[in-house]
Amino acid sequence: MNSSFANENEPIITTKYGKVRGNVLNVLDGQLQAFRGIPYAKPPSENRRFKPPEPMDKWNDVRNAQSLPNSCYQLRDDMFPGFEGAEMWNPNTPVSEDCLYLNVWAPLFKTPTPRPEDRVPVLVWIYGGAFMSGTSTLDIYQGHFLCKSQNVVVVSMNYSFHCFQRKILCQQNQVFHNSFLTHLFRHECHLEHGS
């Protein structure tokens, strides 16, 4: 991950698809860099709806990755209205078909290009929800404390799962379509110098 700074609080990294701008966050008496809302696949809408995700096209501008992305469509848990123990699992960002995004929290390196001694482990977090609900944007899933306290890169992502209540369609294609995530991380996502 090569970094540069538009200003001291907005790191810019170069990904395989283009540049993204993040934030520097103050966490646990220190700082880290966060990139929230990096697209990893084209939105599964219109002619791509109900089909396997397609990789993003490269972009030339600097994309904003400074806020949490949309959550994927799902049913809300309204069984116990007002009960925080149930409602805390409902999406906290707008739901949309345009929801295939990564979030990355990484140590703040002293140089624009991390040196070999800057390498740190990468933890990829995929939320649960029985392929019916969930989102990487929930407060409980934010990776900033884990990144700072354990000196690791934390990556989370949203994935599409509910198919607008067409359960048969989901059951037939779920494993195949979500195998795209495995392909993305195994063959497409190059995490250089631990970030």
Q: Which of 5-14, 52-61, 137-146, 185-194 has the lowest mean pLDDT?
A: 185-194
Convert the pLDDT of each residue in 71-103 to its tens digit. Answer: 988 888 888 888 988 888 989 999 998 999 999
Which residue pairs, CB below 8 angstroms and at least 24 apart, start in 75-82? 75/132, 75/133, 75/162, 75/165, 77/133
Q: pLDDT value at position 121? A: 92
pLDDT, tens digit (0-9, with 9 covering 90-100), for 160-187: 865 554 444 455 445 445 555 555 554 4
Q: Mind giving me the DSSP string for 99-157?
A: --EEEEEEE--SSSS--GGG---EEEE---STTTS--TTSGGG--HHHHHHHT-EEEEE
Could you report the per-residue pLDDT of 41-59, keeping only the tens digit for each?
888 888 887 777 888 899 9
Name the CATH architecture for the domain at 3-194: 3-Layer(aba) Sandwich (3.40)
